[in-house]
Structure 1
Amino acid sequence: MDILAKYDGLAERRDLMLEAGANPFGLRMEKVLSPTEALVNGRRTLLVGTNNYLGLTFDPHCIAAGVKALQEQGTGTTGSRIANGSYALHEALEEAIARFLKRKSAIVWPTGYQANLGMIAGLAGPGDTILLDADSHSSIYDGCRLSGATLVRFRHNDPADLDKRLARLRRQGAAENGALLVIVEGIYSMLGDIAPLPEFVEVKDRHGAFLLVDEAHSLGVMGVCGRGVAEAQGIEAGVDFLAGTFSKSLGAIGGFGVSDHPHFERLRYCSRPYMFTASASPASIATVIAAIERIEQEPGLIKQLWRNAEALHSGLAAEGFEIAAPVSPVVAVKLPDERLAVAFWNALLQAGIYVNLAVPPGTPNNSCLMRCSVSAAHTPEQIQGVVRTFVEVREALDASAPAS
């Protein structure tokens, strides 16, 4: 048997998508023009699917910091921090992210994916139990597998179900034989729904568990200061560990973990993704530090992002589209089936709008979605144009559909 034959079904499904038009999972941008526009197939295209929440990818301050670090410290570190040592910039970023999130300690990883692998597999191990929101990101699931801990899933955003499962584990003696770690996300990346952290904190405290919150899509996005859902919901002191990425609102690449736990630094010697991965490049680290400074100095970016999110959400809802969750910078429009979703995505792209096509098995409840991510850099006119184009595409597809 051919070693890649197991993917025949997926390949056939991909071929069907390609027959309908462009490749939704291999789109080529010939040139990125700004935080909100790129040339795609030679056409100026509005970007509404890049997670560039604050529009900082072209920020002059961030670019200047990256260029300076590149010129002064070279292109890369060529090894892990355990093997090759830390650059002063690595430590400066850890100090900056810890200060920004008001935590005692921070550790950075080269990617957000590795931050989840490193945090989870460093915190939990064989003998421990992880209780995981069922809709969690793939990196979280992979971190759980790497840890060797027992994995128990609970229903999405359901503190009562978590409570029931923790109570059962305690009756079985799990808390006596190992630690209990609860993992949720702040904003969930597919639907844009938000975790009820106060309720989760109350449940985990009652059962003696620890709580890790992945703020990947909420860092720089929620809370007056941009510290995430924990800040926005007034529950920061109840969250034991935070993880996240620099690749969304901060416009760079990398990941982090922070905590007030007195032994958090032990993860540097117990986290394989930290120990055996080359550390982030000086230019990347420098741009992240500059991006944090921009958020601290200009809180208006967050306010503009939410004005745009509310405008897109309300505009699409007013036109009769089904939105998957209440207002957040992720606005996911539900469509009835994959065939229509693929056609809708292609029609949007041909009209100069790029969003994310999200289909099973990568979506909750097998949903088919046009996933939009809003940016503070979008203008009101661009937001209005997105709503107008959604309506035009729906009308065109309805007109071309065969009569039943």
Structure 2
Amino acid sequence: GDVIILDKLCHASLIDGARLSGATLRVFPHNDIGKLESHLQWAEKEVASANGRILVVTESVFSMDGDRAPLAEIVALKERHGAWLLLDEAHAFGVIGPQGSGLAAELGWDDGRIDLQMGTFSKAAGLSGGYLCARRAVTDLLINRARSFIYSTAPTPALAVAAMESIALISGEEGERRRERLWQSVRLVAEAIGVTAGSAILPIILGSNEATLEASEALKENGFLIPAIRYPTVPKGQARLRVTLSAAHQAEDVACLTEAVRPFLTGSPGE
């Protein structure tokens, strides 16, 4: 049969979709290219005798750490082992790449090397729903055979038009101006809290659930809505404040934020 290989930190919706498929599942440690290759070597032998296919699933930007997938290495591996790649651009669409079109486009791989590229309109686009880009034969198959699509209510015409307008804004001059402002804020906050500026998601890992909840509440009282993320959303001992920046944040907001979080940057992970 078929084999699906997922990054351990893939969103729950990707994992549940993989389970629904009936394929054999394998999970590799987050961004661990060596383990991914081991799974691919095993899967090649597995599907060769069963006339199946291999699908690698990852996210371009991960939702809780804000880090990026090593896409160059993943694409090279999937091509070497004859696998397909599904890339979830949920947290990259709108903020990364030319015209906000995602990490694959930023790397110059919007030429079909990504077999299935999906994303959501619930983040940068400010709506609901999502999209999937693939070859016509693949999308036709999904439209006609995917039960979770067939037996779901279609988006309303109003939502479709709103999505088109949002995409036009994101890909136009106004979108470029907003991205430039967003990334200025990201770089400033990332430097202040000591993390890599890879996306608009910047975690402050405090470790203790109690300390993280207290910090989140204190920040809320000061006018900053920064959620406390705890187990099981993240591993035990990795509770964190999840800072998410927007192009709507002004320079004054960013300056106040960096001062507000400063007292919590000396906490040491561990529960």
The question of a shared fold, defined as TM-score above 0.5 by the shorter chain, is answered with yes
> Paired residue for 1:13?
none
Structure 2 matches for 1:278-289, cutoff 5 A? 278-289=153-164
> Paired residue for 2:82?
208
> In the aligned structure 2, how far is the partner of 1:307 from the partner of 1:330?
14
* Bigger Cα displacement from structure 2, 217-226 vs 360-369: 360-369
* Aligned residue type for 2:200: P
Q: What whole-Å deviation, never above 9, does each CA across 1:50-78 have from its counterpart, x for those lacking one?
A: xxxxxxxxxxxxxxxxxxxxxxxxxxxxx
Moved over 6 A (4+): none
Report how far residue 221 of structure 1 moved.
1.0
**Quick check: which has more Rg, 1 or 2?**
1
> Paired residue for 1:358?
229
Contact 1:187 1:194 in 2 (8 A): yes
Relative to 1, partners in 2 of residues 1:173 and 1:277: Cα closer, same or farther, differing over 3 Å? closer
Structure 2 matches for 1:335-346, cutoff 5 A? 335-346=206-217
Within the candidate set 65, 69, 79, 1:191 is matched to 65
Relative to 1, partners in 2 of residues 1:330 and 1:187: Cα closer, same or farther, differing over 3 Å? same
Structure 2 matches for 1:13-28, cutoff 5 A? none
Contact 1:246 1:288 in 2 (8 A): yes
> In the aligned structure 2, how far is the partner of 1:241 from the partner of 1:156?
20
Q: What whole-Å deviation, never above 9, does each CA across 1:306-333 have from its counterpart, x for those lacking one?
A: 111111111222xxxxx4x543200110
Contact 1:305 1:375 in 2 (8 A): yes
Q: What whole-Å deviation, never above 9, does each CA across 1:142-167 have from its counterpart, x for those lacking one?
A: 10111111100012112221111111
Contact 2:219 2:225 in 1 (8 A): yes
* Aligned residue type for 1:253: S
Report how far residue 305 of structure 1 moved.
1.4
Task: Give the TM-score of the pair, scaled to structure 2.
Answer: 0.92
> Paired residue for 1:243?
118
> Paired residue for 1:66?
none
Residue-pair matches, total = 264
Name the SS of the counterpart of 1:262 in structure 2.
helix
Report how far residue 364 of structure 1 moved.
4.5
Relative contact order, higher structure (CA 8 A, sep 6+): 1
Report how far residue 304 of structure 1 moved.
1.6
Relative to 1, partners in 2 of residues 1:133 and 1:366: Cα closer, same or farther, differing over 3 Å? farther
Structure 2 matches for 1:128-143, cutoff 5 A? 128-143=2-17
Contact 2:47 2:53 in 1 (8 A): no
* Aligned residue type for 1:311: L
Q: What whole-Å deviation, never above 9, does each CA across 1:260-308 have from its counterpart, x for those lacking one?
A: 2534212111111221111112332222111111012222222221111
Name the SS of the counterpart of 2:98 in structure 1.
coil
Q: What whole-Å deviation, never above 9, does each CA across 1:224-278 have from its counterpart, x for those lacking one?
A: 2211010112223321111110000000111111112534212111111221111
Contact 1:348 1:393 in 2 (8 A): no
> In the aligned structure 2, how far is the partner of 1:159 from the partner of 1:293?
36
Structure 2 matches for 1:233-272, cutoff 5 A? 233-237=107-111, 238-272=113-147
Contact 1:135 1:364 in 2 (8 A): no
Report how far residue 393 of structure 1 moved.
6.1
> In the aligned structure 1, how far is the partner of 2:47 from the partner of 2:166?
46
Q: What whole-Å deviation, never above 9, does each CA across 1:123-147 have from its counterpart, x for those lacking one?
A: xxxx211000011000001101111
2:183 matches 1:306: yes
Contact 1:219 1:226 in 2 (8 A): yes
Structure 2 unpaired stretches of 5+: none
> Paired residue for 1:50?
none
> Paired residue for 2:192?
315
> In the aligned structure 2, how far is the partner of 1:144 from the partner of 1:362?
19
Task: Give the TM-score of the pair, scaled to structure 1.
Answer: 0.62
Relative to 1, partners in 2 of residues 1:185 and 1:393: Cα closer, same or farther, differing over 3 Å? closer
